[in-house]
Structure 1
Amino acid sequence: MSASRLLARSATALSLALLTQFAPAASAAPAAAPVAQDAANVANTAAVSYRTVKVDGVNIFYREAGPKNAPTLLLLHGFPTSSQMFRNLIPLLADKYHVIAPDYPGYGQSDMPSMSSYTYSFDNLAATIDKFTTAVGVNRYALYVQDYGAPVGYRLAAAHPERVTAIVVQNGNAYDEGLDNEFWQPIKAYWADKSEANAAKLRPLVALEATKWQYLEGARNPQRVSPDAWTVDQAYLDRPGNGAIQLELLHSYGTNPPHYPAWQAYFRKYQPPMLIAWGKNDKIFPPAGAHPYLRDLPKAELHLLDTGHFALEEDSAAIGALMRDFLGRHVKR
């Protein structure tokens, strides 16, 4: 179903529900009751709960929606955001799927333990999210990975291939070609030499101007991107000590490319169903990182969208429609 038809159907259901609620009982159309009930069910399942669970002493915040007996979608966010990046997508999926979106330690509403008490590395973020899935009773899921979510999610998938039912990739890298651009040059220099001089070149990445740039660069209509998104992200980045955490993770990102061959081998061996919905105007993860997936997963479905790094800001409806079609064909109860 296209995004426009999906939205039209939702609007029709809502209108009929309102007419049924306020019209006199004698004049209510008999056919409206099932549609109104359907609308009520969608509204109930799409309602998001905001929860916290403790993992190794760290409070992990997560958003949860949808029936718990439905197939689970695990949504993994990128930098510098949190599960708030999925705020528009979750209601589009929660009538059919059990949707869970956690915040990593140091992000969003999760705890931000000190660097002396928590190791901020991609290995450890993945270990925490792995334990998180156990804590919330999820042992099988489809993954949605974006930006930092890709190296976290691919660690989970490679370690537990039997748990992953499908993968949705949105501007998340697993190939060297995806890092061969100007944005990554100062970061690669920091991987090679963790000096103060190289760190100083990266500190602007956690400033408001850079956060706003990540949302607006490549957007086809910047006026449709809510300023609430980068304002919320920046509030978390500006917490005392968070800048040092972000630098540590930027350095740890250098541990991801050595894993690429193993992740690619996982793709080739297990052939997980994959939907690639990629903002083609992204200056951080350009389309050069999207196409190589097809080498290892020739049945993967690739869609290049006319938007930027945070594609959900402009195209949540389109991505939601693509996901409903894709998941409906590949993920069963």
Structure 2
Amino acid sequence: MNSSSSTWARLAVAAGFVAVTAAASAAPVTPAASTAVTYHTASIDGVKVFYREAGPKNAPTLLLLHGFPTSSQMFRNLIPKLADRYHVIAPDYPGYGQSDQPPMDKFTYSFDNQAKVIDKLTSQLGLTKYALYVQDYGAPIGYRLAAAHPERVTAIVVQNGNAYDEGLDNEFWQPVKEYWKDKTEAKAAKLRPLLEIGGTKWQYTEGFRNPDANVSPDAWMLDQAYLDRPGNKDVQIEMFYSYGTNPPRYPEWQAYFRKHQPPMLLVWGKGDKIFPAAGATPYLRDLPKAELHLLDTGHFALEEEGDKIAKLMRDFLGRNVKR
């Protein structure tokens, strides 16, 4: 090749590089870029409610409802794994996480009231349809929403969240049930160790395969920091008492399951000592098409099986939730 040809070859390569670079810079934003999480607050009856949001707003919505004693931070790793396909909203209940903690004489800390707050939040955000992810306390809150507005719920993902008596027939619940029957400080005192660092860490380590390697200690330390705020432990004791209002509503929620047959994915940490696997299998009585996966982990299964749960959710939601 002579020098002239060589020069033209180099120019052609350079031009091609420029064209590719220009095309790349003009390309639309990739789905990965839409997974960034943003942080917001809404005022619900004068109470600041914090929520995390990610994903395109015109995509199907996922409403993630956290458990005790945590907050929407339990979904910190899950949200980016779903937000390329879904509009994800994860709120903190009043008294949890970054939401307000109103004084107990100004706000009723009950499952009925927490559900009302989240219901009003969904209305304020214009969420007319959504799939639910419920864990622990998120289950009785989410099922109140579903039973009240069955037309809104497109699917339900249940992760260690109870709706059957079998799920409460274990040692953990005995002192809680005693408190339901006799709301005294003596009975409450038996529950208070659950609100200290040992009890919080226990929830993140008991029943896990390898908590030292797989569970970030930041998770329970952050939860404990929220629990240690002035007055918060009294809020939690009141919520323990209010949990007694949930079992009487199990027949109502089970009737909802039977009548409406919402698509359901059960991803359950079988090592959980609070909500053991005995509470997972009864769902299949009312929802024979539900998909059950018992995972070799504990109560906060996302800490150890987040990748697997995200993969199962993407497959399940892809088949059951219209885009």
Superposed, 1:52-71 pairs within 5 Å as: 52-71=41-60
Tell me: CA distance 1:206–1:330, structure 2 relative to 1, closer, same or farther (3 Å).
same
Q: Does 1:241 align with 2:231?
A: yes
Q: Within 2, Cα distance between the matches of 1:28 and 1:295?
A: 61
Aligned to 1:164: 153
| 1:180-259 correspondence to structure 2 within 5 Å | 180-222=169-211, 223-259=213-249
Aligned-partner Cα distance in 2 for 1:35–1:73: 31
Name the SS for the 2:190 alignment partner. Answer: helix
Alpha-carbon distance in structure 1 between the residues aligned to 2:29 and 2:78? 19
Q: Tell me if 1:146 matches 2:132.
A: no
Q: Measured at CA, do residues 92 and 262 of structure 1 come closer, stay the same or move farther in structure 2, by a change above 3 Å?
A: same
Against the structure 1 CA distance between its residues 25 and 226, is the aligned structure 2 distance closer, same or farther, given a 3 Å change threshold? farther
Give me the whole-angstrom Cα distance separating, in 2, the residues matched to 1:48 and 1:265.
36
1:31 CA drift (Å): 9.8
* Residue aligned with 2:154, SS: strand
Provide closer, same or farther for how the CA distance between residues 173 and 57 of structure 1 changes in structure 2, counting only shifts above 3 A.
same
Residue 280 of structure 2 is aligned with which of 280, 283, 290? Answer: 290
Matches within 5 A, 1:1-333: 40-222=29-211, 223-333=213-323
Number of residue pairs matched? 310
Q: 1:35 to 1:220 in 2, by over 3 A?
A: farther
Alpha-carbon distance, 1:42 to partner: 2.6
**Deviation of the 1:221 alpha carbon:** 1.2
Q: Measured at CA, do residues 197 and 39 of structure 1 come closer, stay the same or move farther in structure 2, by a change above 3 Å? A: farther
- What is the deviation of 1:38? 9.1
Residues 295 and 73 of structure 1: CA distance in aligned 2, closer, same or farther (over 3 Å): same
Q: What is the rounded CA distance, in whole Å, between the counterparts of 1:304 and 1:83 in structure 2?
A: 23
Q: Residue 232 of structure 1: CA displacement? A: 0.7
Separation in structure 2 between the aligned mates of residue 201 and residue 69 of structure 1, nearest angstrom = 48
Task: Among all aligned residue pairs of Structure 1 and Structure 2, give the percentage whose two residues are the same amino acid.
Answer: 74
Q: Deviations over 1:156-194 (max 9, x none)?
A: 000000000000000000000000000000000000000
| Structure 2: gaps spanning 5 or more residues | 1-12
In the aligned structure 2, how far is the partner of 1:285 from the partner of 1:121?
20
Q: Are residues 217 and 160 of structure 1, via their aligned partners in 2, closer, same or farther at CA, if it must alter by over 3 Å?
A: same
1:19 counterpart residue number: none
**How far off its partner does 1:228 sit?**
0.6
Q: Distance in 2 between matches of 1:270 and 1:35?
A: 47
Deviations 1:253-292 (A, max 9, x none): 0000000000000000000000000001000000000000
In structure 2, distance between residues paired with 1:212 and 1:273? 33
Between the aligned partners of 1:113 and 1:99, the Cα distance in structure 2 is 26
Larger Rg, first or second structure (1 or 2): 2
Q: CA distance change for structure 1 residues 122 and 220 in 2, over 3 Å: closer, same or farther? A: same
Which segments of 5 or more consecutive residues in structure 1 lack a partner in the other structure?
A: 1-23
TM-score, scaled to structure 1: 0.89
Q: TM-score, normalised by structure 2?
A: 0.92
Q: CA deviation at 1:41?
A: 2.0
- C-alpha displacement at 1:136, in angstroms? 1.1
